[in-house]
Amino acid sequence: MRAVFGLVLVIGMGLAGFAVYMAKGYFQQQQLALDHERAQAAAIVPTVDVFALKRTINYGEQLTKDDVQIIRYVEAALPEGVYRTEEELFPEGDEELRVVTRRMEPLEPVLASKVSDPGEVVGITSHLTRGMRAFAIRVDATSGVSGFLRPGDRVDVYWSGQAQDQRGNDITQLIETSIRIIAVDQSADSGVTEASIARTVTVEASPHQVAALAQAQSSGRLSLALVGAQDDSIVNDAIAVNQASLLGVTEQAPEIVEEERVCTIVNRRGADIIEIPVPCTN
């Protein structure tokens, strides 16, 4: 009897220990799952709904409701000018649509800087800053940087010609710096990637700069030099080069030769006039 009682006691203690072990393992698993959920919750970044494109849209195309979709975008990294509601993007419905002013790719958020106002006709005037004017410069493969110019690039403008005070020597001079290009030929699309030889480049300039460029273009030849995208340096020095300075030749003023003075005394003898040379006193 005692043996049976002892056996039951041992079995009971074993079952109790196993139950404690199982319960401990269960609690550990629950704690791990809870910690995992907490880690995932901490990793979740707040997002918001914004309108993005379904397809690639090129410059000049109208933006319709079928071209956009709603995506989730990280709120902390939200770019300026996004559209979050249909009323913001299409305030006039399908009657007056926006026009894309820069090439856009699929899943790219629609930004106010890349579309026109509802019903607005897109042209070169939409790219002009307030108070600025558009001026076209004639270029070729050499003066136009071999076709690598794009709308949005900045260029320095050099004038080559013959100045009146340079004794007939040609001179090249920097006349404008870091002027923004707004169109190449008849295209204002900055998304064009293929190089092409342009015939005209339209730049944004103030009225005073327009007058200077017009005078320079009519009196000589203009050449453009592309400015780097990250270059914010300012050129303060006047840059002018002629053939003499290019070759290191020092120009000398022409020697002035004084003519020999001749002094005379005039005597009249009847109808004859006789000039008699005499020394000059001063």
Q: What is the pLDDT of residues 144-181, one digit of tens each?
A: 777 788 888 999 999 998 876 556 678 889 999 999 99
Q: Are residues 209 and 140 in the same domain?
A: yes
**Residues 51, 110 share a domain:** yes
Same domain, 55 and 98: yes
Whether 70 shows a pLDDT value over 70: the answer reads yes
Residue 258 pLDDT > 70: no
Cα 227 from Cα 211, distance rounded (Å) = 22
Q: Is the pLDDT of residue 253 over 60?
A: no
Q: Mean pLDDT throughout 251-274?
A: 67
| 274 part of a folded domain | no
Pair 69, 177 in one domain: no
Residue 18's pLDDT is 62
* Shared-domain flag, residues 57 and 159: no
Give the model confidence (pLDDT) of 28-65 as tens digits: 777 787 777 776 655 677 889 999 999 999 887 889 99
Single out the residue in 122, 141, 172 at which a domain terminates.
Answer: 122
Question: 100 and 83 in one domain?
Answer: yes
271: in domain: no
Other beta carbons within 10 angstroms of residue 265's beta carbon come to: 9
Domain boundary among 96, 122, 148: 122
- The answer on 146 and 231 residing in a single domain is yes
Residue 73: in which H helix or E strand, if any?
strand 68-74
The verdict on residue 278 lying in a domain is: no
Q: What is the mean pLDDT of residues 194-219?
A: 88
Tell me the HSE value of 199 on the side-chain side, using a 13 A CA sphere: 2
Q: What is the CATH number of the domain that holds 56?
A: 3.90.1210.10
Label residue 187 by pLDDT band (50, 70, 90): confident
Does residue 213 form part of some domain?
A: yes
86 and 58 in a common domain: yes
Mean pLDDT of the chain: 80
Domain that residue 97 falls in: 47-122
Residue 3 phi/psi, 5-degree rounding, is -65, -40
User: How many distinct structural domains can be found in the chain?
Assistant: 3
pLDDT above 80 for 189: no
Q: Which DSSP string corresponds to 102-148?
A: S-B-TTPBPBGGGB--TTPPPSGGGGPPTT-EEEEEE--TTTTGGGT
282, part of any domain: no
Q: Are residues 64 and 110 in the same domain?
A: yes
231: tokens are 């270059």
Which of the two residues, 144 and 79, has the higher pLDDT score? 79
Of 216, 140, 146, residue with least CA distance to 176? 216
Is residue 255 in some structural domain? no
Question: Do 159 and 94 belong to one domain?
Answer: no
Query: Is the residue at 270 inside a domain?
Result: no
Are 196 and 207 found together in one domain? Answer: yes
As a whole number of angstroms, the distance between CA 250 and CA 245 comes to: 7
As given in the structure block, the two tokens for residue 121 are: 């006709």
Q: Determine what percent of the chain is predicted with pLDDT higher than 90.
A: 27
Burial class (CB in 10 A: 0-12, 13-18, 19+), 226: middle
